[in-house]
Amino acid sequence: METHPPEIDTRATRMPVAELDRLGDEIAELSAHLEAATARLLQLIREFDARQGWNTGFRSCAEWLGWKVGLNPGAAREKVRVARALGGLPQIAGALGRGELSYAKVRGLTRIATPESEARLLALAQAATAAQVEKIVRGWRRVNRAAEAEEATRRHRSRALTVYHDDDGMVVLRGRLEPEAGALVLRALEAAGEALYQRAHGAGAGIPAEPTPGGAAGEGPTIAQRRADALALLAETALHQELDPGPPGERYQVVVHVDAPVLADPEAPGQSVLEDGAHVPAGTSQRLACDASRVVMRHDADGHVLDVGRRTRTISPALRRALLHRDRGCRFPGCGLRFCQGHHLRHWANGGATTLENLALLCRLHHRAVHEEGYQVERHADGALHFRRPDGRPIPAVPPPVAVPADPIEALWARHRAQGLTLHARTLTPSWLGERLDLGWALDVLHPLSNPVMPR
């Protein structure tokens, strides 16, 4: 088999050197303009995020960016992260706005820079290439991780719980827990304390809503006393359950009692309460009933239970499989989260059928938005879902394109000229002269943990 070497386009080699230099300078100058425009973009994202302009049915600013401008989730999250970080790094933000730093360098710097180290890292970035900046950032983070790991090991070794009997027979506990374990214990104590309070309050024990700091007679238990009672309840509950939390389906089951008229019409009189008697809005009951187990109970005029039906699933397993196969994830524009609940477009309490045509997958956030925050969704004759905000404005699956100038490059240059920016082919060029990067020396000079006595 005969082979031939690939043909080489010699037009570039025949092009005059001056013409190639001009093309190179145009690339460099346009790149500086794009970096300056990126600084403005990040500033707008930071302001939009701070003012929660994305909070119109979207879970985060990054999710809104993915829907509005077509960024993939990772790139959108990174844009928001960098935009937020630059809010506290004005020198680096200013250098990007003047086209003196590339976004690639700024991304790296914002992972490690603090107001104290900003000036030193900025000087480094202006002198180094983007690859060198990335090497220093990785080395810097290794030093940070080593320090964090050492601190975590020290904390782990210092964990302890001592138990002893005091002279009067009281049991005294004193301990140190790691942060995550401590947070778990505190959360459990809060839950147990709330359960005790509700139990006593419901029995008319007269415990005040707010604990008193002094614990004087007749003023109810103090915070410390409530925590002691809560700890005893936790121990009793654990022993009663033989330290077995039970099946997940039962462990996280929430029971709601709601009258049929309330499910059909939130304005109708009737109950909508949790099992312990706490009231929940009718919209919440409607949302929970969309995709839940259902037990129908009949009562007489005095409220006594006459009959209890079998527990059934609102959406059958076979229908759920078909729904998951069709929708693949949350149908709210820009979401797509795969952990979802089935939503009845027309609620079954209002006569809506539990069929594939009347169902759509929504994540917990957007399911709540539809039932309790005024968002609307309906299926048109072509089968497409249409969402609307509470004020009736539509939320398109794909936002309409924005107007773009006939010559966007000239428009960008004109904007920068109006701002007084002077950008040229050397604006982005680092002052590096080609010498080899000594990473160890650079970290010794720059990192505060490597050189703690260095003046800032």
Over the chain, what HEC string results?
CCCCCCCCCCHHHHCCHHHHHHHHHHHHHHHHHHHHHHHHHHHHHHHHHHCCCCCCCCCCHHHHHHHHHCCCHHHHHHHHHHHHHHCCCHHHHHHHHCCCCCHHHHHHHCCCCCCCCHHHHHHHHHHCCHHHHHHHHHHHHHHHHHHHHHHHHHHHHCCEEEEEECCCCCEEEEEECCHHHHHHHHHHHHHHHHHHHHHHHHCCCCCCCCCCCCCCCCCCCCHHHHHHHHHHHHHHHHHHCCCCCCCHHHHCCCCEEECHHHHHCCCCCCCEEECCCCECCHHHHHHHHHCCEECCEEECCCCCEEEECCCEECCCHHHHHHHHHHHCCCCCCCCCCCCCEEEECCCHHHCCCCCHHHEEEECHHHHHHHHHCCCEEEECCCCCEEEECCCCCEECCCCCCCCCCCCHHHHHHHHHHHCCCCCCCCCCCCCCCCCCCCHHHHHHHHCCCCCCCCCC
Bridge partners of 387? Answer: 377, 395
Q: Cα–Cα distances in Å, from 306 out to 68, 164, 302? A: 55, 55, 11
The answer to whether the CB of 95 falls within 8 A of the CB of 122 is yes
**pTM (2 decimals)?**
0.65
Burial class of residue 27 in the structure, from the number of CB atoms within 10 Å of its CB (0-12 exposed, 13-18 middle, 19+ buried): exposed
Q: What pLDDT, on the 0 to 100 scale, is given for residue 455? A: 41
Exposed, middle or buried: residue 322 (CB in 10 Å: 0-12, 13-18, 19+)? Answer: middle
CB 227 within 8 A of CB 189: yes
Domain ranges, ordered by start, for the chain? 14-154+435-446, 163-251, 256-392
- Which whole-number Å values give the CA distances from 346 to 267, 323, 380, 398, in the listed order? 17, 16, 13, 25
Whether residue 105 contacts residue 93, with contact meaning beta carbons closer than 8 Å, is answered with no
Looking at residue 215, what is its pLDDT?
47
Q: How many CA atoms lie within 13 A of 377 on its CB side?
A: 27
User: Treating both helix axes as pointing N-terminal to C-terminal, what angle do 17-50 and 73-86 enclose, rounded to 10 degrees?
Assistant: 80
Distances (CA, A) of 429 to 104, 108, 143, 261, 337: 13, 17, 29, 71, 42
CA–CA separation, 49 and 36 (whole Å): 20
User: What is the model's pLDDT at position 451?
Assistant: 52
Q: What is the pLDDT of residue 12?
A: 53
Strands 359-362, 256-258: pairing kind: unpaired
Per-residue model confidence as pLDDT tens for the chain (456 residues): 566 666 655 555 556 888 888 899 999 999 999 999 999 999 999 999 999 999 988 989 999 999 999 999 999 999 999 999 999 999 999 999 999 999 999 999 999 999 999 999 999 999 999 999 999 998 888 887 776 677 677 777 888 999 988 887 788 999 998 877 788 888 888 888 888 777 666 544 343 444 444 444 456 678 888 889 888 888 877 776 665 554 444 444 567 888 888 888 877 888 888 776 777 788 888 888 888 887 777 766 676 776 777 777 789 889 999 999 999 999 999 888 888 899 999 998 888 999 999 999 999 889 989 998 899 999 999 989 999 999 999 999 888 888 888 888 899 989 999 999 888 888 888 887 777 888 888 887 778 776 544 444
Rg (CA), the chain: 32
The neighbouring-strand residues paired with 274 are 256
The angle at the Cα of 226, spanning 222 to 228, to the nearest 5 degrees, equals 115
Residue 374 main-chain phi, psi, to 5 deg: 90, 0
Which of 66-80 are b and which e, b meaning 16 or more Cβ less than 10 Å from the residue's Cβ? bbbeebeeeebbbbb
